Structure 1
């Protein structure tokens, strides 16, 4: 039979409330009393019931996580980080896949699972600010994106402009002059691709290098095949770059495949780098230089935002928003820019801005 708080209280000779205070790490308990209760807990093998604890607070103990897909390793790794961060607070994560479609993202943002989840973490692709206007659901919402139009929701994202500047400075610091940019929705001002392109432009302009539109190849998708197609178009144009900054690692890997097929050496002829630091890039034939977002920090900040808002006694009137939350990122220097003789596996350089 499951050991209850009452069983522990009887063994320790204290009240059920005292046991509850010890289990919930209430500060105002004397060391001697805490030790006595803990001894009874260990002796009986008591395990707290997080579901019951959540129910007593009028909660479900579930946080929703809505991602575009799991085929992209970045989102798979991020999902694992969110699950781990939620588990530290005895929360379960309910995963939802939106396919990156605006309608599904808007439904999630409006709280169509409001009776199931205590809060939602949403990674949007096509969502627009107006989709969240007049939101009826008072469950906390956190966006894994840039905060836009002063929406009253916390947003968690690395500084994409600064990260792109770090990446381009790395390439130009190696003597590269024709740096191409591949991939993403560069026409959407809030999309990470647009922000990374902005950082690309800023560095090249500051350093006096040309940044013609011919070196920019947007893509509809963000997979390996999109990177391969973009690199093919760039090479077919007849003016090959000596460096490529890809929107993400998958696009970079697709681009490197085409470069190999065309007899272009990486990095001797063309240096390549991406974003996300996925495992495939760390273990390919040519390891990939990349910008590595701190996925653990992204997950932790998102979960902490939801829990902070849940603890607010008046959930209808949201507490003062913390706005844009900025996890760190790192520049991972590897063979695709440095060459095999200069890039030891796993080399890790801090980002500088």
Structure 2
């Protein structure tokens, strides 16, 4: 005979708490004391209790699943961000379905129009190809929170970092070291390259404030934001006889690629060339030298995004879209500080 299914009442009896308290622990509510949570989790483990998610979600009219759609998971920033989104969602009893769009307009359109709407309760979306007008015209009513710079003041809640201010601060740091030929690696002329445009604007603003001339020969355009692109861009600068004494790269993989080229060509970092990146990926903390970088608060981005999405899922409305800026800091390491 099959063993009887363990229920909330059994867990509550063993833990010495109410059924409501057990439900709160199972559903990830934060307003449970640590001692009570530990006692309930011990009872759950002892009884091998498994919540009936299908029945619970049917009662709530939900799947218990949200989606995260990002351009590229092989860019470490998005992989690390996905880690934090999954962790924050788990705390709220949610499962995350992760989708990679490749920054393809067609793929992003499918995501926005809800081709997986029957599977999910909400969407956290970092679009690169779609515009605010595209998203405002979507027919799908799945709650959505936007990440990144492509769609500002759009039709949905939006989490963003002030890229102009952050790029300005990183470039001013290089200028404060007495560097006068500060290059920029990461410019793009693609219509979707809003991040690039904002960081380039911050770079130019810092040069102006520091009284340094803007030299177009020191700005290198790239196709993508991978290590190989950074290595090629640095080689382009050196081969053209434009060796800078500092470089601001628009993300950390570009900086790590540039670092490799500099070292291969016999240049010291930061002795000959000071180097700074953007995103504070884990690799930069263990490179030689370690990488100075702009560190956006990825955990805050994830937490804010999940919180806003849960709020939208509860209210069932996209009215009154909110735009929230999350903090960043400049982390100074060996690549500029020696």
Matched residue of 2:97: which SS?
strand
In structure 2, distance between residues paired with 1:174 and 1:9: 62
The Cα of 1:5 is off from its aligned counterpart by 3.7
Partner of 1:31: none
Question: What is the distance in 2 between the residues matched to 1:106 and 1:226?
Answer: 27
Alpha-carbon shift at residue 118 of structure 1 (Å): 0.6
2:135 aligns to what? 132
Deviations 1:215-247 (A, max 9, x none): 111111111110111111111222211110001
> Taking structure 1 as the reference length, what is the TM-score of the superposition?
0.83
- Provide the C-alpha distance between the structure 2 equivalents of 1:10 and 1:249, rounded to a whole number of angstroms: 52
Q: How many residues align?
A: 326
Instruction: Write the mapping of 1:1-353 to structure 2, written as runs, cut at 5 A.
Output: 1-5=4-8, 7=10, 19-20=19-20, 23-24=23-24, 48-146=51-149, 148=151, 150-185=153-188, 188=191, 191-312=194-315, 315=316, 317-323=317-323, 325-339=324-338
SS in 1 for 2:89: helix
Q: Which residue of 2 aligns with 1:343?
A: none
2:230–2:256 contact (8 Å) kept in structure 1: yes
Contact 1:147-1:155 at 8 Å conserved across structures:
no
Where relative contact order (Cα < 8 A, 6+ residues apart) is larger, the structure is 2
Question: TM-score by structure 2 length?
Answer: 0.87
The answer to whether the Cα contact below 8 Å between 1:146 and 1:155 also exists between their aligned partners in 2 is no
CA-CA distance at 1:19 after TM superposition: 2.8
Determine if contact 1:187/1:194 at 8 Å carries over to the other structure: no
CA contact (8 A) 2:172 2:210 kept: no
Structure 1: segments with no counterpart, 5+ residues: 28-33, 340-353
Q: Is the 8 A contact 1:63 1:117 kept in 2?
A: yes
Q: Deviations over 1:64-116 (max 9, x none)?
A: 11122221221111111110010000000001111121111121112111111
Q: Could you tell me how far apart the structure 2 residues matched to 1:70 and 1:76 are?
A: 5
Backbone CA RMSD of aligned residues: 3.0
Structure 2 stretches lacking a partner, 5+ long = 30-35
Alpha-carbon contact 1:163-1:291 (below 8 Å) kept = yes
Residues of 2 paired with 1:47 and 1:183: CA distance?
49
SS in 2 for 1:177: coil
